[in-house]
Amino acid sequence: GIHEFFSMTDRVGVEGYLGGAALMSLLLLLSFKQEGRYLLEWGVISFLALFIAWGIKDKNIKVAVDQIAYTLLGILYVAGLSGYFILIQGLEDGKHWIVFLFLITWLGDSAAYYGGRKFGHRLLAPEISPGKTIEGALFGLAGSFAGGIIAKLTFLSGVSVVHCLLAAVICGIIGQLGDLAESILKRYTGVKDSGKLMPGHGGVLDRIDSLLFAGPAFYLYYRLVF
């Protein structure tokens, strides 16, 4: 995911620090593994490491802000958001909740795609993604809702139906915003897909863009409601 992010930003002339970003991403995920105990230390180390990397590699003040800012954005976008799945795994029934998130997100994505192709007429955000429609978004929300019902009936029998469906709808909406967020990045950098790892399906970020937003949304919902 980090590699795909910097492959895209390279196309607009901003060369991030891929090696440093990969290392900082790993350290950030390890911090999540420790329930975020070392986030402050991670922030200090990251800023120092990136300034040192700029000083060694470029020493060009005209590109320093862009390179450091894009590198930090890539780390926080990919590793920072995905790290919430580590926190979710540590919750009661955490592994089931992760399956729940995958289920509602991918059912929502599939329903939005096929529903939008067949019934879509009104564009949702043409300046961001010309292919997305309001009808497709509604079908996507229905798919997430169906995923919540399936999860309740199969592996979350101990959770109230209200929580399952409410979490499914909230995460379905936020997940679609995650899809639009990646569309902004792809449109800005002029690419159709984030990568070519999975022929016909794009790259890693194309598969997890909705999950990256749905995970933190669910974790916040769980902490506030359960």
**Mind listing the pLDDT tens digit for each residue in 23-81?**
999 999 999 999 888 888 999 998 888 888 777 776 666 667 888 889 999 999 999 99
Instruction: Please report the pLDDT score of residue 200 as a whole number.
Output: 67
Q: What is the pLDDT of residue 150?
A: 97
- Nearest CA to 112 out of 172, 171, 167 is that of 172
What are the angstrom distances between the C-alpha of 210 and each of 110, 144, 177, 213?
12, 12, 7, 6
Low-confidence ranges of the chain (pLDDT < 70): 58-63, 199-200
pLDDT computed for residue 11 by the predictor: 92
Query: Distance of alpha carbon 127 from its chain centroid, rounded?
Result: 21
- Structure tokens given for 169: 């709808």
How far is CA 209 from each of CA 90, 113, 134, rounded to the nearest angstrom?
Answer: 22, 15, 19
pLDDT of residue 166: 97
Q: What integer pLDDT is reported at residue 68 of this predicted model? A: 86
pTM for this one? 0.93
Give the span between the Cα atoms of 223 and 226, in whole angstroms: 6
Q: How far is CA 183 from CA 40, 122, 125, 133, 209, in A?
A: 31, 18, 10, 14, 9
The reported pLDDT for the residue numbered 62 is 65
